[in-house]
Amino acid sequence: PLRIKVFMWFVHKQVILTKDNLAKRNWVGSARCSFCDHNETIKHLFLDCSLAKILWWSIHIAFNINPPTSINMLFGTWLDGVDSDIVRHIRVGVCALLWA
């Protein structure tokens, strides 16, 4: 769906309104992640948070694919070497999970 495509474009450009980006806009509030006790950044929320790690671990088990280590890798070389027949399905599933 278009809303997920737009969301992923925002993730790629790293302009999602995570708490660190809100603070840059003079937002007053806790910068801590709602799921753990670390500062909330785009990288943290989608890759490093304990909840995100559970999702990436599930993808690793299901498809034997190592998780990306950066946002740039997620949109770049992350799925290099994976069978091209399933790459599209993996991308759609991951995008939907990140959006959710």
Query: For residue 66, what pLDDT is reported?
Result: 92
Query: What are the helix (H) ranges across the chain?
Result: 2-13, 19-24, 42-43, 50-63, 71-75, 84-99
2-34 residue pLDDT tens: 999 999 999 999 999 999 999 999 999 999 999
55-78 residue pLDDT tens: 999 989 988 999 999 999 999 999
Helix (H, G, I), strand (E, B) or coil at 19: helix
Query: For residue 46, what pLDDT is reported?
Result: 94
**Domains in the chain: boundaries:** 2-99
Is residue 81 over pLDDT 90? no
Is residue 83 over pLDDT 90? no
